[in-house]
Amino acid sequence: MGEEVFRGQIYENIMPQKLDLIDRKILYLLSRNARYSNTAIAKALKIKREVVAYRIKKMLDNKVINGFYTLIDTRKLGKFIHVVYMKLKTTSQEKEMLDLLVNTPHISAVHTCSGMYDLHFEILTDDLEGFDRVFSIVLNQFREFVHDYIVLNFLREDSTGRGFLLDVQEVKDSNLHNFKEIKGSCFQKEFDQQNKEHFVVEVDKLDKRLLKLVNHNSRMTIREMADELGVVPSTIENRKRRLITNGVIKRFLPLINFSHFGVQWYVVFLYMKDLDENKLVSYLQNEPNTLWYKRFIGKWNYQINIFAESNTQFHDVLNNFRNSFADNLVNFESIIMFNQHKLADNFE
């Protein structure tokens, strides 16, 4: 698990790679399930399996794809995530703060941003006391440099697609919206039957080792996982089926470096009232530039991530959203997200 895969996801100075229609179709299918096999992708695109393998390797080499990760619902493991957004008085101590955040156990994600907040980090613990211990480490060392902060209690998150990779007509022409690989080890059948209700799932040491193994390498073969964990392949298959069906594993996704697409990452905080969340998710799935949402308890109860080519496009996407949810939207704010400095796991 190399550092270069998970730190600096958004690059400020990068030479964008040229991606043709086939590359974008491959990324689109991997974004639906990163464990789709090269053979299945090749069949869907009517090209050779070797071409798919070569193109994926090239995108990995050129940092278009920064790896493949597993989206895990940590609440189903009995874990709690507290999301912190912090505004600094001055950025003179930002590097020292980043070093502390990156190297502090139980801090699972760290980003720099611009606007009403300068830093974003997430603390993953078993209880409120654990959060207080970790958060106090940060505040005690840098309190004099902190202007303000908010803490949001995390409930859930999900990907809403990668629509900007292909326009609607390209998807329809390729019939990719109807593609599913049922056979093989992509576990699509289990995802389709997934229990989305919240409940804590009992897991043992082997489950935790498996989750840790695939967290940042979701395309590992069953054989590779079995060899690494010292068990037979059927054990891995059965464990993954259970974890997916129970909703511990939510998705397999590629970690795409969006800088290659000439887009900027905007985070929009929302306070919504009387909202039908299914309506929100359906809207986001059909809006190509909104790729992710999160549900919180706190000052803001939703967050959506918008990837736009310009401030004008961001403005248009946001205004369309505001008009569509005018009866629900109470307040909103936005920031620009920059570098990702940490994306870790903590399942022990």
Which CATH number belongs to the domain containing residue 304 in this structure? 3.30.70.920
Domain membership flag for residue 103: yes
At 216 the pLDDT is 87
- Whether the per-residue pLDDT at 299 is higher than 80: the answer is yes
Q: Where a domain ends, among 258, 281, 302?
A: 258
| pLDDT band at residue 6 using 50, 70 and 90 as cut-offs | very low
At 2 the pLDDT is 37
- Whether the per-residue pLDDT at 7 is higher than 70: the answer is no
Asked if 143 and 35 sit in the same domain, the reply is yes
Q: Provide CB contacts within 8 A for 67, sequence distance 6+.
A: 5, 6, 60, 216, 217, 254, 255
Domain membership flag for residue 190: yes
Asked if 328 and 230 sit in the same domain, the reply is no
At 297 the pLDDT is 97
Tell which wins on pLDDT, 1 or 38. 38
Q: Provide CB contacts within 8 A for 31, sequence distance 6+.
A: 159, 161, 162, 165, 253, 254, 256
At 8 the pLDDT is 36
Q: Using CB atoms within 10 A of its CB, is residue 296 exposed (0-12), middle (13-18) or buried (19+)? A: buried
Asked if 141 and 263 sit in the same domain, the reply is no
| pLDDT band at residue 1 using 50, 70 and 90 as cut-offs | very low
* H/E element, 275: none
Asked if 93 and 194 sit in the same domain, the reply is yes
123 with 107: CB under 8 angstroms?
yes
β pairing state of 264-272 and 146-159: unpaired
Asked if 277 and 181 sit in the same domain, the reply is no
Asked if 94 and 177 sit in the same domain, the reply is yes
Asked if 246 and 300 sit in the same domain, the reply is no
| pLDDT band at residue 262 using 50, 70 and 90 as cut-offs | confident
Q: Where a domain ends, among 258, 281, 310?
A: 258
CA distance 296 to 298: 6
Identify the CA nearest to 215 among candidates 47, 60, 34: 34
Task: Give the number of C-alpha atoms closer than 13 A to the C-alpha of residue 134, restricted to the C-beta side.
Answer: 25
Name the one residue in this structure whose structure tokens are 């569509």. Answer: 324
Alpha helices in the chain (DSSP H): 3-6, 21-32, 38-45, 49-61, 94-103, 128-142, 168-174, 188-192, 205-214, 222-229, 233-245, 277-285, 311-324
332-348 pLDDT per residue, tens: 999 999 888 888 766 66
Domain membership flag for residue 12: no
At 4 the pLDDT is 39
Domain membership flag for residue 84: yes
Domain membership flag for residue 116: yes
CA distance 26 to 345: 27
At 344 the pLDDT is 76
Domain membership flag for residue 348: no
Q: What is the pTM of this model?
A: 0.89
Asked if 201 and 266 sit in the same domain, the reply is no
Asked if 300 and 251 sit in the same domain, the reply is no
Tally the domains of the chain. Answer: 2
193-240 pLDDT per residue, tens: 999 898 999 999 999 999 999 998 999 999 999 999 999 999 999 999
Domain membership flag for residue 175: yes
φ/ψ of 188, rounded to 5, equals -65, -35
Asked if 123 and 91 sit in the same domain, the reply is yes
Domain membership flag for residue 131: yes
Domain limits for position 59: 1-7+17-258
Side chain identity at residue 132, one-letter code: D
Asked if 79 and 46 sit in the same domain, the reply is yes
Asked if 79 and 188 sit in the same domain, the reply is yes
Q: Where a domain ends, among 241, 258, 275?
A: 258
